Amino acid sequence: MDSHQFCGYGVNGRDSSYSSYPTVSGASKFDSGNSPNSPLADYFNSETFTTVSDYQEQHSCTENLSAASSSRDSLLDYNQYFHRPNPSQDCLPEGPLVFSSGTSLLQNANHSRNMKQLESALVDLPLQGVPSGNLKQLLIACARALAENNLDDFEILVAKARNVVSVTGDPIQRLGAYIVEGLVARKELSGTTIYRSLRCKEPAGKDLLSYMHILYEICPYLKFGFMAANGAIVEACRNEDRVHIIDFQIAQGTQWMTLLQSLAARPGGAPYVRITGIDDPVSQYARGGGLTAVAERLSAISEKFNIEVEFNAVPVFAPDITRDMLDARPGEALAVNFPLQLHHTPDESVDVNNPRDNLIRMIKSLCPKIVTLVEQESNTNTAPFFPRFLEALDYYHAMFESIDVTLARDRKERINVEQHCLARDIVNVIACEDKERVERHELLGKWKSRFMMAGFQQYPLSSYVNSVIKDLMRRYSEHYTLVEKDGAMLLGWKKRNLVSASAWF
């Protein structure tokens, strides 16, 4: 079984539950049985591949790139990347997302005033030199005033910004709504409180999964990053009789459905597969059930495709994992998966013990056949506040722009996705410091340095998989980009790289 057989994505044009954006066959249950006539589509059907959406549902950064309400210690709490449930009675109220400053992001939802009001708001700015009508520069001026401790200027600038941001506006207006709250939270030293308040004690699992499905459908660079990782695992283990997958964010386990189906179809017969699923002990709320739910799902796929699968649940926070918990056994081809998760593990800038590099070295000591890494391509780890703000502004602006291509601005689903899957991380990056700042992304070059210092070599991603992904991304929009760099893959929007995928051995 080679990677050519594995990568069976296809894009269909049929309207789904959210008909304003295209769907990728097998990427979620939005497309039920409408795969295109592709020789690869057999391996990516709607029943077995919800992968990225579920996968990331778990990654909301111990607070993570997800944003808004989530379980008290749910995915967002610790090591999740994108998952958010609807607020419950113990959370922020449904509808307006209210921050500690007492403002509602929806109170300015009417954006008909758009540019005229912005131009008016920018009159007589306190010597900031902000071009009239330029909200992005106004936000930068707010951050600069805060960085320089010019609090009087900051209050004036933020007040003006509040009048023109809108969760139903253009990309910079929508992003600005969350950035303003992050800046105010930083000024009031309430970032951690807000970050923690943006999660629920008992999130509504179905709503959360719906947000995650939508997010991964409308942001294909996230989904295809996971596709690249799966392709690398299949290729590295193509001749192995026993395969052990260690997933550092198992979520619902759906990333592995298509992979198992692919392995089951190998001409030489299916290998014995063991999956160790790591997930924090409290994210069952976001998953809609504990790790037993993952075991049941894998058991069903095992029976359906006649492939032996053993599942071992490890309900532990990733930085607390020990070698013994992973139970690596002789004779197994070990594949380790880090899905938008490793950036949540602190490094030497936060903890002198450097848990991030220690975890990478511990994995290397297990002699894995392959290690896959998917991460946001952003530099927010050690950067001081102001340059970190500029980086976050650029990164999320590109992301919000890309969302416009596939989901209309007035759609409630889009508001929910941005509010529940992105806002929380934005606030964390802007308002929090030290151990309270858990969104600590690094660029591919830095990850490469960390892995090589731990003794890893790069495992080139499949050129075939890359070509398939590039073709599929073009079907979403010509502005999506794929750059192959030193054997890795960078997925992005226009000139901004957003996600990196790489493999190591």
What's the CATH architecture for 3-11+222-379+440-504? 3-Layer(aba) Sandwich (3.40)
Query: What is residue 253's three-state secondary structure?
Result: coil
Two tokens, residue 129: 């030199």
CB neighbour class for 126 (10 Å; exposed up to 12, middle 13-18, buried from 19): middle
Q: Could you tell me which residues come within 8 angstroms of residue 176 by beta carbon, excluding any fewer than 6 positions away? A: 135, 139, 161, 164, 165
Q: SS3 for 193?
A: helix
Residue 336 to residue 325: CA distance in whole angstroms? 14
- Taking the C-alpha atoms of residue 16 and residue 485, their distance in angstroms, rounded to an integer, is 35
Q: Is 138 helix (H, G, I), strand (E, B) or coil?
A: helix
Q: DSSP states of 476-488 as a string?
A: H-TTEEEEEETTE
Question: CA-CA distance, 379 to 499, in Å (whole number)?
Answer: 12
Q: Are 274 and 243 in contact (CB under 8 A)?
A: yes
pLDDT score at 86:
30
The overall longest dimension of the chain from CA atoms, in Å, is: 74
Helix (H, G, I), strand (E, B) or coil at 503: strand
If the chain, 505 residues long, is cut into consecutive pieces of 10 residues, what is the mean pLDDT of each piece? 36 31 31 29 33 34 31 26 30 37 44 51 52 88 97 96 94 96 90 53 52 80 91 94 95 83 91 92 58 86 94 90 95 96 95 96 98 98 97 98 88 86 91 94 98 97 92 92 94 97 98
Other beta carbons less than 10 A from residue 379's beta carbon: 18
Radius of gyration of the chain (CA): 22
Distances (CA, A) of 54 to 60, 81, 438: 12, 10, 21
pTM above 0.85, yes or no: no
Structure tokens at 362: 């511990």
Q: Is 329 exposed, middle or buried (0-12, 13-18, 19+ CB in 10 A)?
A: exposed
CA atoms within 13 A on the CB side of 257: 29
Whose CA is closest to 176, among 116, 109, 82, 120? 109
| Res 192: pLDDT | 61
List, in order, residues 6 or more apart from 83 with CB less than 8 Å away: 56, 57, 58, 59, 60, 66, 70, 74, 75, 76, 208, 209, 211, 212, 251, 286, 421
Burial status of residue 49 (CB atoms within 10 A of its CB: 0-12, 13-18, 19 or more)? buried
Q: Which residues pair with 273 in a beta bridge?
A: 243, 309
Question: Nearest Cα to 307, choosing from 378, 369, 385, 245?
Answer: 245
| Strand arrangement, sheet containing 480-485 | 309-314, 272-278, 242-247, 333-339, 370-376, 496-504, 488-493, 480-485
Domain ranges of the chain: 3-11+222-379+440-504, 56-209+381-436
The pLDDT score that the predictor gives to residue 292 is 81
Question: What per-residue confidence (pLDDT) applies to 197?
Answer: 54
How many helices and strands in the chain, by DSSP H and E?
19, 10
CA distance 277 to 299: 14
